[in-house]
Structure 1
Amino acid sequence: MNTRISSIFLAGITASLMLSYPSNANTPSQSSNSKFLISQATNRGGEELIVNGTEPFWNVTIGRKGITYSTPESRQNFPYVAPITASGRPADVVRVYRLRGSNNVINTLVIRKGSCSDGMSDTRYPYSAVYISGNRVLEGCARAK
């Protein structure tokens, strides 16, 4: 009797989950209100970007061949790493790049979709950015390369 009840209970849970999250494997594209995770391997997640910050001036260039952080005084190159994306969000909404620097310092670059102004021009950028290196936090804007 307990085995039959357990089987019925599991079948009910399975059916409920399947109805709540229908498969879209045979559809050509996902709707914008989809509850499914978007794969990190989409083209938008690997897009080449340019990030700029002012006061102090800094720049990050993200390309398939590598990632470069630079200031007027210095330059640091990192191998390309795929961005980490926010759970349950499309790849271009939030991207986090974890970059291992010298002395094993982890540098973190967070790029978030949303209008951004550099504060020095009338240029509007489609992404805002935060670069964290050690105890230093820098803000800026980003655009596609």
Structure 2
Amino acid sequence: MQPRHLPLAALLIAAAACTPAAPTDGIDPEGKTFDAVGPEEVVTLVGTEPFWALKVEGGEGLWTTPENQPGTRFAVTRFAGNGGMGFSGTLDGKPLAATLTPGECSDGMSDRRFPFVATIALEGTTLQGCGYTTAQPFTGDPAP
């Protein structure tokens, strides 16, 4: 049987969303699947330098950038690991993998504080950012 090689995006998600953590960080030491974000919650991931946003609602993602403000819609699959959750899909023919993990996050450009850390893997590029949901919003000025 030939060894199976996973794409980099799959490996990043596995490492970020499924790595067991110490019991002191709020993650179930017995490996309970991450359930802090309900399936009905809209999830938004944002980043700066370069600016980007991914909004996930149900099985659809909306990717926006300053150059594409209306955004591009694409199908996503959601999955949960031990320490967070992930989304995967194909954006303009390129694999996209996103992770959302608990942790205080700052976008570095405003006084906003976000409840999640976000990572996007897109065509060999890794983007770092922050995330929030409809039930777990960011705090700070809504329009800085």
Counterpart in the other structure of 1:70:
64
1:44 aligns with 2:37: yes
Secondary structure of the 2:30 match is coil
Q: Distance in 1 between matches of 2:99 and 2:42?
A: 14
1:141 aligns with 2:134: no
Q: Distance in 1 between matches of 2:51 and 2:45?
A: 11
Between the two proteins, the alignment pairs up a number of residues equal to: 105
Deviations 1:61-86 (A, max 9, x none): 111261111101122211242x2222
RMSD: 2.2
Shift of 1:44: 2.3
- Alpha carbons 1:107, 1:133 under 8 Å: kept: yes
Shift of 1:117: 0.4
Shift of 1:122: 1.6
- Alpha carbons 1:69, 1:77 under 8 Å: kept: yes
| Larger helix percent | 1
Which residue identity lines up with residue 138 of structure 1 in the other structure?
L
Structure 2 matches for 1:1-145, cutoff 5 A?
Answer: 35=30, 37-38=32-33, 44-46=37-39, 47-64=41-58, 66-74=60-68, 75-81=71-77, 83-86=78-81, 89=82, 93-103=83-93, 105-145=94-134
| Larger strand percent | 2
Structure 2 alignment gaps of length 5 or more:
1-26, 135-144
- State the identity %: 25
Q: Distance in 2 between matches of 1:128 and 1:33?
A: 18
Q: 1:34 to 1:100 in 2, by over 3 A?
A: same
Q: TM-score of the superposition, structure 2-length normalised?
A: 0.63
Q: TM-score of the superposition, structure 1-length normalised?
A: 0.63
Q: Distance in 1 between matches of 2:132 and 2:38?
A: 13
Secondary structure of the 2:111 match is coil
Secondary structure of the 2:119 match is strand
Higher RCO structure (Cα 8 Å, ≥6 apart): 2
Which residue identity lines up with residue 64 of structure 1 in the other structure?
G
Secondary structure of the 2:109 match is coil
* Structure (1 or 2) with the larger CA radius of gyration: 1
Structure 1 alignment gaps of length 5 or more:
1-31
Shift of 1:101: 2.5
Secondary structure of the 1:79 match is strand
